[in-house]
Amino acid sequence: MRMDKKQPPSTQRPRTKIVLAISAISAVAFIVVVVVGGRLWLRRGAAPVLPPGACRGCNVLLITIDTLRVDRVGAFGGRPGLTPHLDRLAASGVRFTRAYSAAPLTLPSHASILTAVSPPVHGLRANGLFRLGARLPTLATVLKGAGYRTGAFVGAFVLDARFGLNRGFDVYDDRYGEKPAGGAAEGAERRAEDVIKPATAWIVNPQSAIRNPQWFAWVHLYDPHEPYRAPEPYASQHEPYDAEVAYADAMVGKLLDDLRAAGQLDRTLVTVAADHGESLGEHGERTHGVFVYDATMRVPWIVSGSGVGGQGSGARRDDLVRLIDLAPTVLDLLGVAAPAEFEGRSVRAIGATDERAAYIEAMDANVTRGWAPLTGIATRDAKLIDLPIPELYDLAADPGESTNLYARDPARARTLEARLRGETAAFAARGSAAERTTLSADARQRLQALGYVASSAEPGARVYSDADDPKTLIAPANELQRAVTAFNTGARGPAMAAARTIMQQHPHFATAYGMYASMQRQSGDLPGAIATVEDAARRGIADQSVMVVLAGYLQEAGDAAKAVAVLEAVIAAHPDYAEAYNSLGVVLSRLGRHDRARIALRQVLELDPTSAAAYENLAVDELSAGELPAAIDDLRRALDLDPHLYDALYNLAEALLTLGRGDEARPLIERFVREAPPARYAPDIARFKALLTR
């Protein structure tokens, strides 16, 4: 066996890949449709008369559509013809025109919808960094306790079961397909048609129906999220974002048609609401997640279906409602008691004197980039946004939120500030139900492929100034993204000059330092990249992920001892940070400190048993020590977790050949020849082809 190229830690291909990325942040829209065999009477222009328990014994279908703007749904004032299936639902029921999301991010928003509490209480303030704890009940746990069979079918990794929303579901289908070689993008999401197929099959399964005919299904469609890549014919008929919306609407129609044909909608409650929208450039925000303007926070909510309000009732309600009210409303209509832990309330009996307000927040940029935290409160006619540069808007007179009235209307500002303080004090008294997650390298790549920053920052308490306000930083963030695009398309000099200017003008913008250092490294200036990251560390703006990047650069420059010191310091401060242990294991292995390397790599597996990289790196260390049987076991585990680790596939075949187990090696060799990318593995493919002809 030729081990000189593949085995030694100093030259072994398996290695940590440390990525700093800027990305837009993501969104999701919620659709809840009510289809009831009986009749839920409504009075046009007045509060719906929806008696408690009006849908007692009904099934429940929850459909969520990612990143759906309220103004793209025809029933809410959008262009006619783009969403015919949603429009038909609204035409036969009730649409709530002033519904607010709790946060403009997929995971926090869905957590609020399912738990009926605001983000400070469930604790999921950003994507990928938190897991919903077991303390709070959810719509799924309540319905399962009421005797329902429960199934969830989600379309993107950001709602993976590891983040805790699977509690209460008998089936949690978060399969996105295999991750291809060279990237994680295709393994991060699946099209709507690939979500509704297993959902339909689960709902209509005759054997399940015999055991328990009563069901609750959640179907999550991710398609309108950026990048906008709708299939034909939608892509040719609409602008990119609108094409995704039209496609998602068509898939909603197909799901409902298939269930209706199977007799599954005769007595089914489907609750319809959007979890947040998309800025599409408004207020300087390209997608969503940074701000809490109505473009991303006001969402469509429809209650509709057979017999709801009479044929073509199309009742419209303009009361302020919140998506944390969704689960209590569903339970109210089912006649199931809502848990005391629920913060939201049923919208069934909202009256003219109801004074509820919507707490809103966008904390991702604070948690992942160190920007100022953003919270706010919306009432029927006003919105306060609490930032270093505070904002107040009259939503009735200024629906586009273009005129900041904070300085001009101090009395109303003080009233809303007091109300916001009361809300946050109540949240603090309840505490957070979140658990911190360990974000593996694979998880980080998948989140980045979906457009999420996926940092592991934990900003400390500090005083934020105008320089930290997202309004101040959104423009340089957009400029930096353009610089990255220019760099990747060959305009390296101008791109690096633009990044330097951003760093000079915004010295606390940590992402700019990371991206500029990456540009330096790719341009061959490794010492410069190290100096840039060290400068960020000295300024106190480098989180643990940036420090792991620094360690990687130091190791690449030959200063392994300093790399070890940096990684050990990161681990001391963040003992649950799996990526730091993985990097430490690789560095120690290359230094020949095998016992310590294996301790570090096994710690990765304690924190993240799904880490294919840790198993592969363990195997590399074992190969270097001549421990072939142990290496074979770990290589098999790595390939089970990620079949596209072609270095692991090569090494496994070589190890089996060395031990004289050619029959076991042959199918692996054939697979390597067939699947490994020729651009990277041409000499190895040629060698294995020659072996196959002997």
Q: pLDDT tens digit string along 616-627?
A: 999 999 999 899
| 353 CB-contact burial (10 Å; exposed 0-12 / middle 13-18 / buried 19+) | exposed
Give the pLDDT mean for 255-276. 89
pLDDT at 547: 86
Lowest mean pLDDT among 169-173, 381-385, 447-451: 447-451
Cα(388)–Cα(410) distance, integer angstroms: 16
Q: Give one DSSP letter per residue of 171-237, joined into a string.
A: EEE----PPPTT-SGGGTB--HHHHHHHHHHHHH-HHHHHH---EEEEEEE-TTSSS--PPTTHHHH
| Residue position matching structure tokens 């699977």 | 166
Q: Is 6 helix (H, G, I), strand (E, B) or coil?
A: coil
Lowest mean pLDDT among 42-51, 59-68, 398-407: 42-51
Cβ-count burial 279-290 (b if 16+ within 10 Å, e if not): bbebbebbbbbb
Q: pLDDT tens digit string along 52-69?
A: 777 888 899 999 999 999
Q: Hey, how many other C-beta atoms are within 10 angstroms of the C-beta on 517?
A: 27
Cα(371)–Cα(533) distance, integer angstroms: 18
The mean pLDDT value of the chain amounts to 86
170 or 537, higher pLDDT: 170
- Residue 428: is its pLDDT beyond 90? yes
pLDDT at 83: 97
Measured at the CA of 599, the angle between CA 595 and CA 602, to 5 degrees, comes to 135
Cα(235)–Cα(248) distance, integer angstroms: 12
- Residue 598: is its pLDDT beyond 90? yes
> 559 CB contacts (<8 Å, ≥6 apart)?
none
Q: pLDDT tens digit string along 327-370?
A: 998 999 899 999 999 999 998 877 766 778 999 999 999 888 88
Which amino acid belongs to residue 379?
T
- Residue 37: is its pLDDT beyond 90? no
**Tokens at residue 82, please?**
């783009």
> 552 CB contacts (<8 Å, ≥6 apart)?
16, 18, 563, 583
**Among 156-160, 243-247, 432-436, 688-692, which range has the highest average pLDDT?**
243-247
β-bridge pairing 268-273 and 315-322: unpaired
Which helix (H) or strand (E) element contains residue 330? helix 326-334
**Tokens at residue 421, please?**
């303080």
Q: CA distances (Å), 131 to each of 111, 128, 165, 269, 654, in order? A: 10, 8, 8, 28, 40
- Residue 391: is its pLDDT beyond 50? yes
- Residue 184: is its pLDDT beyond 50? no
pLDDT at 182: 35
Phi, psi (deg, nearest 5) at residue 613: -60, -40
Beta strands (DSSP E) in 363-427 are: 374-378, 382-386, 391-394
Stated pTM of the model: 0.79
pLDDT at 316: 87
- Residue 282: is its pLDDT beyond 90? yes
Beta strands (DSSP E) in 292-390 are: 298-303, 315-322, 358-362, 374-378, 382-386
Q: Which residues pair with 31 in a beta bridge?
A: 63
582 or 439, higher pLDDT: 582
- Residue 453: is its pLDDT beyond 70? no
- Residue 459: is its pLDDT beyond 90? no
455 or 513, higher pLDDT: 513
pLDDT at 2: 37
- Residue 490: is its pLDDT beyond 90? yes
Q: Do domains 1-23+548-694 and 29-348 have the same CATH topology?
A: no
> Pick from 667, 643, 665, 663: which is nearest to 654 by CA?
665
pLDDT at 510: 83
Is residue 390 within 8 Å of 409, Cβ to Cβ? no
Where do the domains of the chain lie? Answer: 1-23+548-694, 29-348
Give the pLDDT mean for 293-299. 97
Is residue 143 within 8 Å of 168, Cβ to Cβ? yes
Give the pLDDT mean for 503-532. 92
Cα(643)–Cα(674) distance, integer angstroms: 13
Half-sphere exposure of residue 503: CA atoms within 13 angstroms, side-chain side: 21
pLDDT at 303: 79
- Cα Rg of the chain (Å, integer): 27
Give the pLDDT mean for 113-122. 97
Cα(374)–Cα(290) distance, integer angstroms: 8
Q: Which residues pair with 65 in a beta bridge?
A: 29, 221
Cis omega (within 30 of 0) for bond into 104: no
Cα(38)–Cα(102) distance, integer angstroms: 32
- Residue 457: is its pLDDT beyond 70? no
Cα(495)–Cα(164) distance, integer angstroms: 40
Q: Give one DSSP letter per residue of 133-188, joined into a string.
A: -SSS--HHHHHHHTT-EEEEE-SBGGG-GGGSTTTT-SEEE----PPPTT-SGGGT
pLDDT at 357: 95
Percent of the chain with pLDDT over 90: 64
Cis omega (within 30 of 0) for bond into 233: yes
446 or 644, higher pLDDT: 644
Lowest mean pLDDT among 137-141, 502-506, 576-580, 619-623: 576-580
Domain 1-23+548-694 architecture = Alpha Horseshoe (1.25)
Q: What is the CATH number of domain 29-348?
A: 3.40.720.10
Give the pLDDT mean for 573-600. 91
Give the pLDDT mean for 234-261. 96
Give the pLDDT mean for 237-258. 96
Which helix (H) or strand (E) element contains residue 60? strand 59-65
